[in-house]
Amino acid sequence: MAESRAVRARGLTKCFGDVVALDGVDLDVPAGQVHGLVGPNGAGKTTLLGLLLGLAVADRGRLEILGTPVGRSLAVADRVAGFVDGPGLYPTLTARQNLAALASLRGGPGNRGTRAAGVDEVLEQVGLTDVADDRVGGFSLGMRQRLGLAAALLTRPRLLVLDEPANGLDPSGKRRVHDVLDGLAADGATVILSSHRMDDLAALCSEVTLLAGGRVVFSGPVEKLAGECGDLDHRLVVSDPAAARAVAGEVAGLRVLNGSELGHHIGASALVVRAPVPCVEELVVRLVGAGVAVREVAPTVSPLESAFLALTGEAR
């Protein structure tokens, strides 16, 4: 029977000496979801991905992967694949030889009771067919990332765990990887990936978990995370900045930022306001009503980025 939950973690704690890398982490990831892990440097993302890949074991807490409790031994669970800190590849071998070597190490077709994918098939999936016979030592970071993904796909994983898979990818490489991950999720496989790029996470993931200092500070739908942004800074370009300031002063819950708060020049016809989104909308309506033309209005950082900064306690 198919599992309805790919990962269930309760109270996962992992320390390195005095450093508490994970501090009582709970995580639920349903099967068929692309789930993002995000957080500042040192938040514990790689440590958590390492536990999912069996590269380390937790000091405390419970972890179930694809419905099976994870034991105390270092081993990758069945039907789980992926990489942290970049894929392990042989630089002197070609892309095709790397994959063939991995396939034979894993026992080839019939491995773990499931038919493995073919080398050519996965090279095609990640868009590396044209360079299949080139040595990996000459590959760019983005090409190595894609080959690492191809290596993981060889096992037809039900859970794919990727650390910064979009690192170094050009726009077409990114599109290729997005398509592969979307396809896996559509087939019911689960993908858990980390990224520092909020735009990648928004494009790829339906849900995200935000870690800070080894703790979960948010876990849920991406849209809900964007809703946690609270006050957002918006830059408005208007026909009459003095009149616009006067109108802004009448909108409750909205503040016009002054030059010293901004720390940079914003242009003579612009002003920056800090407010929840509905107050900014009210300002625009009032400006138009007062005969002040609004030529541009845009948040200075995206709602997702703003939520990230607010929830991780990072200064604006």
Ligand X SMILES: Nc1ncnc2c1ncn2[C@@H]1O[C@H](COP(=O)(O)OP(=O)(O)OP(=O)(O)O)[C@@H](O)[C@H]1O
Q: What's the min distance (Å) between Cβ of 164 and ligand X?
A: 8
Q: Is 212 in the site for ligand X (CB under 6 A)?
A: no
Residue 258 DSSP SS3: coil
Nearer to ligand X, 3 or 164 (CB): 164
Q: Which one, 91 or 313, has the nearer CB to ligand X? A: 313
Q: From the CB of 270, what's the least distance to ligand X, in Å?
A: 34
Burial class (CB in 10 A: 0-12, 13-18, 19+), 198: buried
Question: If you write DSSP's letter for every residue of 4-70 in order, what string do you get?
Answer: SEEEEEEEEEEEETTEEEEEEEEEEEETT-EEEEE-STTSSHHHHHHHHTTSS--SEEEEEETTEE-
Closest separation between CB of residue 17 and ligand X, Å?
6
16 binding ligand X? (CB under 6 A): yes
Q: Which stretch binds ligand X (CB under 6 A): 16-24, 224-232, 246-254, 269-277?
A: 16-24
Q: Which of 41/73 has CB closer to ligand X? A: 41
CB of 194 to ligand X, least distance (A): 7
The contact mask relative to ligand X for 32-71 (x = CB under 6 A, - = no) is -------x-xxxxxxx------------------------
The amino acid at 191: V
- Based on CB atoms, which residue is closest to ligand X, 46 or 111? 46
Return the number of other C-beta atoms located less than 10 Å from residue 127's C-beta: 18
Q: Residue holding tokens 């726009």?
A: 171
Q: Which is nearer to ligand X, 47 or 306 (CB)?
A: 47
| CB of 21 or CB of 222, closer to ligand X | 21
Cβ contact 45:39 at 8 Å: yes
3-class DSSP assignment, residue 184: helix
Comparison of 42 and 220: residue with beta carbon closer to ligand X: 42
The reply to whether 209 sits near ligand X by the rule CB under 6 A is no
Task: Give the whole-angstrom CA distance, residue 187 versus residue 157.
Answer: 11
User: Minimum CB separation from ligand X for residue 276, in Å?
Assistant: 30
- Closest distance between ligand X and the C-beta of residue 38, in Å? 9
**Interaction between residue 21 and ligand X (CB under 6 A):** yes
Q: Minimal distance in Å, beta carbon 139 to ligand X?
A: 22
User: How many residues of this chain bind ligand X (CB under 6 A)?
Assistant: 11
Q: Are 222 and 216 in contact (CB under 8 A)?
A: no
Task: For the chain, report the end-to-end CA distance as a whole number of angstroms.
Answer: 48
How far apart are alpha carbons 222 and 205 in whole angstroms?
A: 7
261 Cβ neighbours under 8 A, 6+ residues apart: none
Q: Segment near ligand X (CB under 6 A), from 15-23, 92-100, 275-283, 305-313?
A: 15-23
CA distances from residue 194 to 23, 39, 45, 50 in whole angstroms, order as listed: 18, 9, 7, 12
The smaller minimum CB distance to ligand X, of residues 16 and 90, is found at 16
- Which residues are near ligand X by CB under 6 A? 16, 19, 21, 39, 41-47
